[in-house]
């Protein structure tokens, strides 16, 4: 029966540990899944921002193509041939970037965006270039502002399609709910800002090139573009979080305002005012393009910085999510491994020893109860663990009581029931272990006057009664926390903590007085016995030897002064 009980306990303990292991698994799995999802989102966000940057760069290159195209269309003579060569070289760079962007988009799983660029962007780009080339091929006498403006607007349509592809990529992104979501918006705003900034001069390029008044429609577009540029510049400052407004961002943002907005746009406003006042322009189309390109650089630099910074933030986000996933996996594995090892350790080094101890308790309790006749051997199977433990506790209580009696006997004077010198030694050791030592200890030494004469005249029985009487008086005049010691045959010590000399002397006087006023009624032929004591008092010393020596000297003074008195 005991074997069955032991097996049952072991199984229950193993089941409890298994529950703990499963609990760790149930807690860890959701954490791992959540961390993995965050990592996948951050990785996807990084890839999307990389694609956004690539498409944005392509969009910017297409927008920037208007500058060499405008220069080529507005230049004449030998300068015209040089501008045409520069335009052709620039177009080759745009085409190469277009092909690279398509390839990367397809490889990264963004085929719909690549298809958007192929089906919409590139046809409009080719059409715009065709219109520009047709204008460049026109003889000088056949050129006019309206045709130039038409060619410029054709290039606008190519950029519009690239921006649509950029918007589509943002709309279908999966990382917009991550911490880098605001950069999706920033990339769109920056692309729009760069294009609007480029259109500011393009809207009046045709009229300036032909030294004609700017049409009202073009003036309206110019004013609208300027307002849109200033609005986007302010909006970017709002969207960019304060945490991400680095000193470099602030410097570049300030440069856009001072160089482009404060210096570049006034050039356009000045030309527009001359047109309204019917005055001749102070520059031609090529000069206007060259003047605005320098101011436009600040917009390009701000955009490039934010694009690079957004990639850095996304990469940091992915790295942080990856580290968190690794930490979660590590912590979960360590917790699970710890629980499993604890289970095996507890089984081998805790549960099994406890079960063996339990069995030994049963054996000990049974043998003891059988020996004492408490239970019959036939009823051993019904003995419970609690019965065995209770019986062992009873045995331990009996042992403790016996030990207490032995200790009390060893530390107590058998005649007076006060402490003996063994107890005094324990007290001295305790006080020596304390920081204060005997600095706040009062020692009262009591010696029975002419005790040898009491023994010689009345006998040792009366002498013992006198000693018992003095001990009883001492116990009555001190606290339970104080110590009374029979130090010699007729000499007692009283140790009191935390009192001064005046109070100690008062206690000593009270003891002396009460001992003296108790008469011993002896035989009829004997006179009444009056007991007196001499008392020495000392308070505070560095060591026990110093305190005892001072109290002995005080006792000697009391005896020398005639006994039956207190001295300090």
Q: How far is CA 307 from CA 183, 237, 278, 312, in A?
A: 8, 15, 43, 9
% residues pLDDT > 70 (the chain): 85
Q: Where are the beta strands (DSSP E) in 375-508?
A: 438-448, 483-486, 491-497
Do residues 215 and 205 touch, judged by C-beta distance below 8 A? no
**Range 415-567 classified under CATH 3.30.70.270:** yes
Q: What pLDDT, in 10s, does the model give residues 308-367?
A: 888 888 888 888 888 988 998 888 888 888 878 877 777 777 667 766 766 676 666 555
Q: What is the predicted pLDDT for the residue at 539?
A: 94
* More reliable by pLDDT, 25 or 470: 470
Q: Tell me the two tokens of residue 242.
A: 């304060």
Whether 152 has a pLDDT exceeding 70, the answer reads yes
Do residues 209 and 145 touch, judged by C-beta distance below 8 A? yes
Do residues 76 and 84 touch, judged by C-beta distance below 8 A? no
**Cα gap 86→241, rounded to integer Å:** 40
Angle at 179 between CA 175 and CA 181, to 5 degrees: 50
Helix (H, G, I), strand (E, B) or coil at 565: coil
Do residues 225 and 268 touch, judged by C-beta distance below 8 A? no
Residues 6 or more apart from 361 whose CB is under 8 A from it?
Answer: 385, 388, 389, 392
CB count within 10 Å of CB 568 equals 19
% residues pLDDT > 90 (the chain): 16
Whether 392 has a pLDDT exceeding 80, the answer reads no
**Cα gap 273→287, rounded to integer Å:** 18
Q: What is the predicted pLDDT for the residue at 177?
A: 62
Q: Tell me the two tokens of residue 510.
A: 């009270």
Do residues 539 and 444 touch, judged by C-beta distance below 8 A? no
CB count within 10 Å of CB 412 equals 16
Write down the pTM of the prediction.
0.54
Q: What pLDDT, in 10s, does the model give residues 118-131?
A: 888 888 889 989 99
Do residues 500 and 440 touch, judged by C-beta distance below 8 A? no
**pLDDT band at 523, cuts 50/70/90?**
low
| Torsions phi, psi for 529 (to 5 deg) | -95, 125
Number of residues written out for the chain: 568
**pLDDT band at 401, cuts 50/70/90?**
very low
Q: What is the predicted pLDDT for the residue at 390?
A: 67
Q: What is the predicted pLDDT for the residue at 407?
A: 53
Residues 6 or more apart from 497 whose CB is under 8 A from it?
Answer: 440, 441, 442, 481, 482
**pLDDT band at 556, cuts 50/70/90?**
very high
Q: What is the predicted pLDDT for the residue at 367?
A: 57
Whether 377 has a pLDDT exceeding 70, the answer reads no
* More reliable by pLDDT, 378 or 465: 465
Which of 508, 413, 539, 422 is closest to 464 using CA atoms?
413
Q: What pLDDT, in 10s, does the model give residues 281-301?
A: 888 877 887 888 778 788 888
Q: What pLDDT, in 10s, does the model give residues 76-106?
A: 777 888 888 989 999 999 999 989 999 998 9
Among the listed ranges 16-25, 61-70, 324-333, 398-407, which one has the minimum average pLDDT value?
A: 398-407
Provide the H-helix boundaries in 108-239. Answer: 111-116, 122-137, 145-171, 181-209, 216-239
Q: How far is CA 58 from CA 161, 186, 193, 219, 541, in A?
A: 11, 16, 15, 29, 95
Q: Residue 410 is inside which H or E element, if any?
A: helix 385-411
Whether 406 has a pLDDT exceeding 50, the answer reads no
Whether 402 has a pLDDT exceeding 60, the answer reads no
Q: What is the average pLDDT value for the chain, to the nearest integer?
A: 82
Domain ranges of the chain: 13-333, 379-408, 415-567
- Residue 240: left (phi > 0), alpha (psi -120 to 50), or beta? beta
Q: What is the predicted pLDDT for the residue at 362?
A: 62
Do residues 24 and 124 touch, judged by C-beta distance below 8 A? no
Residues 6 or more apart from 499 whose CB is under 8 A from it?
Answer: 442, 507, 539
Residues 6 or more apart from 195 whose CB is under 8 A from it?
Answer: 59, 63, 159, 163
Q: What is the DSSP letter of 121?
A: I
Q: Cα 43 vs. chain centroid, distance in angstroms? A: 26
Q: What is the predicted pLDDT for the residue at 443?
A: 95
Residues 6 or more apart from 490 whose CB is under 8 A from it?
Answer: 447, 448, 451, 467
The residue written with tokens 């926390």 in the block is 481
Helix (H, G, I), strand (E, B) or coil at 209: helix
Q: What is the predicted pLDDT for the residue at 9?
A: 64
Q: What is the DSSP string of 335-404?
A: HHHHHHHHHHHHIIIIIHHHHHHHHHHHHHHHHHHHHHTSS-GGGGGG--HHHHHHHHHHHHHHHHHHHH
**pLDDT band at 382, cuts 50/70/90?**
very low
Q: What pLDDT, in 10s, does the model give residues 472-490?
A: 989 888 888 889 999 988 9
Which of 500, 446, 510 is closest to 476 using CA atoms?
510
Whether 144 has a pLDDT exceeding 50, the answer reads yes
Q: Tell me the two tokens of residue 312.
A: 């850095």
Do residues 362 and 388 touch, judged by C-beta distance below 8 A? yes
């Amino acid at each position: 029966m005991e074997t069955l009980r032991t097996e049952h306990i072991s199984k229950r303990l193993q089941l409890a540990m298994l529950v703990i292991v499963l609990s760790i698994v149930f807690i860890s799995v959701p954490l791992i899944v959540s961390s993995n999802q965050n990592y996948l989102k951050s990785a996807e966000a990084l890839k999307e921002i990389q694609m956004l940057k690539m498409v944005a760069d392509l969009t910017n290159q297409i927008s920037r193509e208007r500058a060499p195209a405008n220069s080529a269309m507005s230049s004449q003579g030998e300068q015209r041939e040089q501008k045409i060569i520069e335009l052709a070289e620039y177009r080759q760079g745009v085409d190469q970037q277009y092909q690279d962007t398509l390839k990367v988009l397809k490889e990264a799983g963004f085929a719909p965006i690549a298809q958007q660029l192929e089906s919409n962007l590139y046809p409009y780009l080719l059409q715009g270039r065709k219109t520009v080339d047709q204008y460049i091929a026109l003889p000088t006498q056949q050129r006019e502002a309206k045709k130039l403006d038409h060619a410029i607007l054709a290039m606008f349509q190519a950029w519009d399609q690239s921006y649509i592809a950029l918007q589509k990529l943002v709309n279908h992104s999966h990382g917009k709910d991550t911490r880098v979501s605001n950069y999706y918006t920033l990339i769109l705003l920056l692309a729009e800002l760069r294009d609007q900034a480029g259109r500011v001069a393009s809207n009046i390029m045709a009229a300036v090139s032909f030294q004609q008044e700017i049409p009202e429609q073009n003036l309206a577009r110019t004013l609208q573009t300027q307002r849109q540029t200033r609005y986007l510049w302010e909006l970017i400052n709002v969207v960019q979080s304060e945490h991400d407004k680095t000193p470099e961002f602030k410097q570049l943002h300030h440069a856009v305002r001072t160089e482009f907005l404060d210096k570049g746009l006034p050039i356009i406003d000045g030309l527009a005012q001359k047109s309204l006042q019917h005055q001749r322009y102070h520059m031609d189309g090529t000069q206007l393009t060259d003047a605005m390109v320098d101011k436009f650089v600040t917009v390009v630099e701000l955009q490039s910085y934010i694009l690079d910074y957004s990639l850095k933030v996304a990469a940091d986000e992915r790295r942080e999510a990856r580290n968190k996933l690794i930490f979660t996996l590590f912590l979960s594995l360590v917790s699970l491994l710890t629980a499993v090892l604890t289970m095996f350790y507890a089984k081998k080094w805790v549960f099994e020893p406890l079960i063996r101890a339990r069995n030994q308790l049963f054996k000990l309790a049974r043998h003891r109860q059988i020996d004492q006749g408490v239970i019959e051997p036939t009823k051993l199977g019904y003995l419970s663990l609690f019965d065995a433990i209770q019986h062992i506790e009873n045995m331990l209580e009996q042992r403790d009581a016996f030990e207490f009696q032995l200790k009390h006997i060893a530390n107590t004077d058998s005649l007076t029931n006060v402490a003996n010198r063994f107890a005094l030694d324990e007290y001295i050791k305790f006080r020596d272990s304390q920081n204060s030592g005997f600095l706040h200890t009062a020692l009262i030494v009591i010696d029975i006057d002419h005790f040898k004469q009491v023994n010689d005249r009345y006998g040792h029985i009366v002498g013992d009664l006198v000693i018992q009487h003095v001990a009883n008086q001492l116990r009555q005049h001190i606290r339970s926390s104080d110590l009374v010691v029979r130090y010699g045959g007729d000499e007692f010590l009283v140790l009191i903590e935390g009192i001064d000399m005046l109070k100690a002397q008062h206690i000593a006087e009270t003891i002396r007085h009460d001992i003296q006023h108790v008469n011993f009624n002896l035989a009829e032929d004997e006179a009444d016995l009056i007991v007196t004591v001499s008392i020495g008092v000392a308070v505070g010393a560095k060591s026990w030897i110093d305190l005892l020596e001072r109290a002995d000297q005080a006792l000697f003074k009391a005896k020398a002064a005639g006994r039956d008195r207190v001295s300090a």
